[in-house]
A and B are shown apart, each in its own frame.
Chain A
Amino acid sequence: MTTMIRDSWTMTQRGLAHWVRMPGQVIAGMAFMIMLVVLFGYLFGGAMRVPGGGDYLEFLMPGMFVMAVTFGIAETMIAVQADADKGITDRFRSMPMSQAAVLAGRNTADMFNSVANLAILIATGLVLGWRVRGSALEAAAAIGLLLLLRLAVLWMGIYLGLLIRSAGAAAAVQTLLFPLTMVTSTFADPASMPAWLGAIAEWNPLSATVYAMRDLFGNPGAGGGSWVAEHALLHAFAWPVVLLAIFVPLSVHRYRNLSR
């Protein structure tokens, strides 16, 4: 057990060292999210109607947090795929280290990374005028749910990273993230979309998390009316847990079966 903790820490340090060695990549990722906030908040913000009224930036930010966290899946997937591709995973597998630490270290490193990302995005929102209007406890719950979602997509990323063979496939999966994160209630009220698209957006599990975030942060557009929005909190908690229940065992199985 102590071996596992020690090795996990070494693996975490490796992830953090990557971060220090490649600040460009990290900064680019953050700059992209900040750019989206500014772009949507200011460029389209004026033309957008917030359901139930209210400030568009306040409507937007909770969805941006969800989006940023969801994009984390690509980071994890690409890192895991690259390690397998370069043979580093094999080196770890041929060493007398804790094998659980390989996956655990990936988890902690990526979670550290996400916490920092989220902090910067929250700071950006605050600077631009977004406000937390709920209680501190609710805000903490919101951040907790975001990190739960990050953990869920992290394990999805590990599984996909072990599954796909090439960096090209990783890029393809990454591209799919755009429609997945855009067709939600993040940018506009699904009720304002064409019926079929609105239905997809409303039932996109990410929308439930977005509704829950708005509710907990006390921001406008928390919805009401639709069944998904009514039970947003429950959904926002339940579906990442379901993902974890699926992808943790799948990933562990896949890692073990690298020796097949």
Chain B
Amino acid sequence: MPAILAEGLRKRYGSKEVLSGFALSVREGTVCGLLGPNGAGKTTAVRILSTLLRPDGGRAEVAGFDVRTRQADVRRRIGLVGQNAAVDEVLSGWQNLVMFGRLHHLGTRAAKARATELLGRFGLDETGKKPVKQYSGGMRRRLDIAASLILAPPVLFLDEPTTGLDPRSRNEVWSMVRELVAGGTTVLLTTQYLDEADQLAGQICVLDSGRVTAEGSPGQLKSEIGGDRLDVVVHDAADLARAAGVLARYSESPPETDADERRVSVAVRDRVTALTRVAGDLAAEGITAEDIGVRRPTLDEVFLHLTGHKEKETDLTGRKKEVVA
């Protein structure tokens, strides 16, 4: 049984259909990264799954309970870290955690012990007595995450948990997520950072205009857009167009040109053959390459490929014109 299951979820605001048949299945003890551009509906999906929002249609189960009819059961088993830190700014970090602990029906003493323990774990013991108002954004975030872990929930929703964090705090959050998952927690993580999904998630769902348009492991998604990428950096910008012409011979998709970096790149099927042939062709045409190499595509490229079809096509024709001219 999946820990998180959604089928055909629909949600509309006014005339705008925000989710149109959102479907998802996350196995217990794994991390699913929900990726998508601004306004794709990530937060809406998380809010529905965490019982905050009623879907207009479809079905969703979390930890085996229907989010519409068994709200109380779902709420007992989830932790939610919303897109904005939801802690009481007037109270201290410690007071916040004690309050949330008591609202999770721990006894006063247990709530206090848990608060102290969580503050320590999130490196907030020193600032624990200060009002949250005086916390930095990263400290607030950590407190927010701590507050959602009071009962060590089996399912955790993280809506852009590292937005606005410095690299160190980001690493801390990442290692915390890994630790939780190692302990059996199921995590649904939304993010704008592709490296974050790459780092943490075993399964990635790309959400675009209200539905999941691609799904798979980071590796699968990368190979889906046409295997490896071949990059050539030319010495003389004037050679860019001709270099693009060479690359086009070895790929089904048109090459992409970055004039600023004097780079042309293209998706290739057979990396070794492509590399040797391109090197030979460039030399034969008298184009000096500063750098030439094959690499796996980044998730950014996957992301743009999957969510930016329309923009990308016009973009490419634009580039083609450039190439022709």
Contacts and interface: CB of A to CB of B under 8 A. Distances in A.
Interface of A: 3, 6-7, 10-11, 13-14, 17-18, 21-22, 86-88, 90-97, 258-260
B70 to A, nearest CB: 12
A92 B50 contact: no
Q: Is the interface of A mostly helix, strand, loop or mixed?
A: helix
Contacts, number: 72
5 contacts: A11-B103, A22-B90, A92-B103, A97-B104, A260-B54
Contact of B88 (A10, A14, A97): A14
A91 B75 CA distance: 10
Nearest to A92: B103
B89 interface: yes
Contacts of B148: 91
B91 A91 contact: no
B52 A93 contact: yes
B87 interface: yes
Contacts of B304: none
A97 B86 contact: no
Contacts of B82: 87, 90-91
Contact of A10 (B51, B72, B103): B103
Contacts of A21: 90-91, 131
Interface string B57-89: 000000000000000100110101010111111
Contacts of A91: 80, 82, 86-87, 100, 147-148
Given A94-B51, A94-B80, A259-B51, A88 B100 contact: no
Interface residues on B, range: 20 to 34
A80 to B, nearest CB: 14
A7 B106 CA distance: 11
Contacts of B147: 91
A88 B87 CA distance: 6
Contacts of B100: 91, 95
B108 to A, nearest CB: 10
Contacts of A90: 47, 52, 80, 82, 86
Contacts of B113: none
A258 B102 CA distance: 24
Nearest to B47: A90
Given A7-B103, A86-B89, A87-B84, A94 B131 contact: no
B277 interface: no
Interface centre among A22, A87, A91 (most CB of B within 10 A): A91
Given A17-B95, A21-B131, A259-B54, A96 B76 contact: yes
A92 B100 CA distance: 9
Interface string B138-150: 0000000001100
Given A87-B84, A96-B104, 13 more contacts: A17-B90, A87-B82, A87-B85, A87-B86, A88-B86, A88-B88, A90-B52, A90-B80, A90-B86, A92-B103, A94-B80, A259-B54, A260-B53
